Amino acid sequence: MRTQDLEKRERILDSTEQIIRTDGIAAVSLSKIAKAANIAPGTLYTYFTDKNDMLRTLYLNRKKALAAAITTIDLANDPVQELNHFMDLVFDYGKQHLDDMLLIREFNQAAILKQLGITVQDAYAGFEVLATFVERATAQDVFVAINYDVLMAYAYTPVLEYLIATTSGTIDADLVSFDKIKWLSQRAIVK
């Protein structure tokens, strides 16, 4: 795809994300997207087959970027050290891309993933190293033996909620440090 085409495609995805952030997934329509992206409605079909294709692409695009940023785990290192590293990666990514993380959460909490034909394998593509990391740490008797999704939720979700709270001013980062959040998560995960 030409640079101009890639830029237009990204503008369409960004406009879709903005509509979801302000009005929710249900409010997304092709006419709203075209207007927000400042393009003719028919142009959307040059890049996407329909609204569902656009939503699917947006979700998987943002998940891919998240996976690339937070999965640089060294499986040979100490699991507790790498757990802290993982939470730091999530925190650093969230400081720059909180809107993308909130968008992913919006999709994950809505019933739309099945409608969009997004399989569990699609949704977790790029995160495989985290599953391996958890399996190894559990086998080494370092982490609590529980489902991977549950365990990772205790590492990822508190970081996201902390970012939301510090960004909105609900929590003062000077009074509640990120290290405290990591410590709490560690207590839930590490034996």
Domains and CATH numbers, the chain: 1-48 (1.10.10.60), 56-189 (1.10.357.10)
| Mean pLDDT on 63-69 | 98
Alpha-carbon distance 148 to 135, whole Å? 8
Which band of pLDDT confidence, cut at 50, 70 and 90, is reported for residue 122? very high
Q: Is residue 81 exposed (0-12), middle (13-18) or buried (19+ Cβ within 10 Å)?
A: exposed
155 vs 2, residue with greater confidence? 155
State the average pLDDT for the chain.
Answer: 94
pTM comes to 0.92
**Token duo for residue 164:** 């939301």
Alpha-carbon distance 60 to 110, whole Å? 15
pLDDT the model gives residue 4 = 65
Torsion of CA 88, 89, 95, 97, to 10 degrees: -160
Q: Indicate the length of the chain as a whole number.
A: 191
Q: Catalogue the E-assigned strands of 133-175.
A: none
69 vs 1, residue with greater confidence? 69
Per-residue pLDDT of 1-49, as tens digits, reads: 567 688 889 999 999 999 999 999 999 999 999 999 999 999 999 999 9
Collapsing DSSP to helix, strand or coil, 104 comes out as helix
Residue located via tokens 């699609």: 122
